[in-house]
Amino acid sequence: MIKKIAVIGTGVIGSGWIIRFLAHDKKVIAFDKDIRLKKKIILEIKRTWPYVKKLFNKKKLNLKNFKYVTSLKEALKDADFVQECAPENYILKIKLMKMIGKYSKSNAIISSSSSGLLPSKIYSKCKNPSRTIIAHPFNPVYMIPGVELVPGKKTKKNILNKANKFYKSISMNPIMVKKELPGYLSDRLQEALWREALHIVNEGYATTKDLDRAIEDGPGLRWSLMGTFLTFHLAGGKAGMKHMLEQFGPALKLPWTKLKAPKLSKKLSSRVIIGTRNQAKGKSVEKLSKIRDEYLVKLQKLRKKYEDKIRK
């Protein structure tokens, strides 16, 4: 049974994991190179609690389960499970995983939150790599249920199964990736959309706001209930995907996409930064996060009612 979890790195993602773990009565021992973050995290736990409480139907926040320590060794010594959340960088993660492997219990599962790095590479110097995995979450981790579990070449099947069970026990829906690939699944899809959007902004066909509306008022509304394949199946009418492929198959040969990213010139960067700043209408990231969190609670409650009708 996984009870004690060490969270290493307590920035955006680390603090999200801490909140989710605490909401599911786990004991959390956190460490960050920047020890000043402790205060910030307590504030973040308190800020998000009203939403977390509603989403998971919880009554009480038990801050006694949370400990912030000032050394990596101390964070790891009793942990059953390690959730690494340091910056996305091969050199840094390889070094850190070597230390984590050294100081953690030999049977502790080590999980990295990486967004797209190859597990076999980041765990290349880690002791006993058969107990290592990637668990790629989505921001905000305390709200979004998806998590991609990616095995490295040396990961044992039973570790993947244990991790799958563990993430399910904290109200997540693990997506099991069959074998490691750069960018995993969701970020590859998001990256394709992102690169296409940057081309459109770069070439002046639309503003950042127009492109966001093209998702928010279109496919985005459907996507949280049905992904691309199921959505297109419905778009094919009675014959479903078969008709869809007959009708839109030829479009695969049309110049509807150019996946290579455009050069991130100063002009393109400032178009994107100014465009999104205008969209925020002076609201801080914190204010927008509050609006998003409130929305995500309501949306997930609503979705639950409908998804069972499709999935069962």
Ligand X SMILES: NC(=O)c1ccc[n+]([C@@H]2O[C@H](COP(=O)([O-])OP(=O)(O)OC[C@H]3O[C@@H](n4cnc5c(N)ncnc54)[C@H](O)[C@@H]3O)[C@@H](O)[C@H]2O)c1
Binding site for ligand X (CB under 6 A): 8-14, 32-34, 37, 85-88, 96, 113-115, 136-137, 139
Q: Which amino acid is at 124?
A: S
- Please state, in angstroms and rounded to a whole number, the distance separating the CA atoms of residues 149 and 179: 10
- Which residue's CB is nearer to ligand X, number 155 or number 207? 155
Distance in Å, CB of 114 to ligand X, minimum: 4
Residue 282, CA atoms < 13 Å, CB-side half-sphere: 0
> In angstroms, what is the minimal distance from the CB of 144 to ligand X?
9
Structure tokens that stand for 127 in this block: 């002791």
156: alpha, beta or left? (left if phi > 0; alpha if psi -120 to 50): beta
Q: Which two tokens stand for residue 195?
A: 């690169």
Q: Which is nearer to ligand X, 114 or 155 (CB)?
A: 114
Distance from C-alpha of 26 to C-alpha of 79, rounded to nearest angstrom? 11
Structure tokens at 288: 């927008």
| Shortest Å distance, C-beta 240 to ligand X | 33
Please state, in angstroms and rounded to a whole number, the distance separating the CA atoms of residues 111 and 170: 15
In angstroms, rounded to a whole number, what is the distance separating the alpha carbons of residues 168 and 186?
Answer: 19
> In the complex, what is the shortest distance from the CB of residue 53 to ligand X, in angstroms, rounded to a whole number?
23
Least distance from ligand X to the Cβ atom of residue 51, Å? 18
Q: How far is the CB of 267 from ligand X (least distance, A)?
A: 26
Instruction: State the Cα–Cα distance between residues 81 and 73, nearest whole angstrom.
Output: 14
Closer to ligand X by Cβ: residue 148 or 207: 148
* Residue number with the smallest Cβ distance to ligand X: 11
Judged by beta carbon, residue 58 or residue 290, the one nearer ligand X is: 290
C-alpha of 57 from chain center: 22
CB nearer to ligand X: pick between 12 and 234: 12
Question: Please, what is the minimum distance in Å from the beta carbon of residue 309 to ligand X?
Answer: 30
DSSP string, 222-268: HHTTS-HHHHHHHHTGGGTHHHHHHHHGGGGGSS----SPPP--HHH
222/193 Cα distance (integer angstroms): 16
Extended beta strands in the chain, E state: 4-8, 27-31, 66-68, 81-84, 109-112, 132-136, 146-151, 173-176
Closer CB to ligand X, residue 32 or residue 80?
32
Q: Which is nearer to ligand X, 101 or 244 (CB)?
A: 101
Give 14 or 151: the residue with its C-beta nearer to ligand X: 14
Q: For the CB of residue 110, give the shortest distance to ligand X in the complex, in Å.
A: 14
